[in-house]
Amino acid sequence: MYLWLPHAGFRSCFQLLPFYVAYWDDAPGPRILYVLTRPRASSLSTRLYLREWLHRRRQPALLLGPYGRSIDFSPFGTIVFIVEDIGMLRVLPYIRMLVQASEERRTMVRKLKIVWQMQDFDHQCWLGDWMQDLLDLDRGEFKILEFRLYYLTKTTSVDPGDAFGERIKLCQGPLMAGEIVQAHLSKRRGKLAVGVCARQSIRQQVQDVVQPRTGPDIKLFDLDLGPGHVREAPCRNKDTATAPASSDP
What is the model's pLDDT at position 248? 37
pLDDT digits (tens), the chain, 249 positions: 777 777 666 666 666 767 777 888 776 777 777 776 665 555 666 666 666 655 666 677 777 777 777 899 999 999 999 999 888 988 999 999 999 999 888 888 999 999 999 888 777 777 888 888 899 989 877 789 999 999 888 765 556 555 566 788 888 889 999 999 999 999 998 999 999 999 999 999 999 999 999 999 999 999 986 443 333 323 333 343 444 443 333
What is the model's pLDDT at position 184? 96
Domain ranges of the chain: 2-68+239-247, 78-222
78-222 placed in CATH 3.40.50.80: yes
> What is the rounded distance in angstroms from the CA atom of residue 225 to the CA atom of residue 141?
32
What is the model's pLDDT at position 128? 80
Cβ contacts of 140-144, under 8 Å, gap ≥ 24: 140/102, 140/103, 142/102, 142/110, 143/167, 144/98, 144/99, 144/102, 144/109, 144/110, 144/111, 144/112
What is the model's pLDDT at position 158? 56
> What is the rounded distance in angstroms from the CA atom of residue 100 to the CA atom of residue 144?
11
Which of 42, 49, 44 lies closest to 6, judged by CA? 44
> What is the rounded distance in angstroms from the CA atom of residue 45 to the CA atom of residue 12?
12
Strands (E) across the chain are located at 2-4, 17-18, 20-25, 31-37, 62-64, 78-84, 111-120, 145-153, 168-172, 192-197, 218-222, 241-247
Tally Cβ neighbours within 10 Å of residue 210. 25
Helix (H, G, I), strand (E, B) or coil at 83: strand
What is the model's pLDDT at position 91? 92
State residue 65 phi and psi, 5-degree precision. 125, -160
Query: Model-level pTM?
Result: 0.76
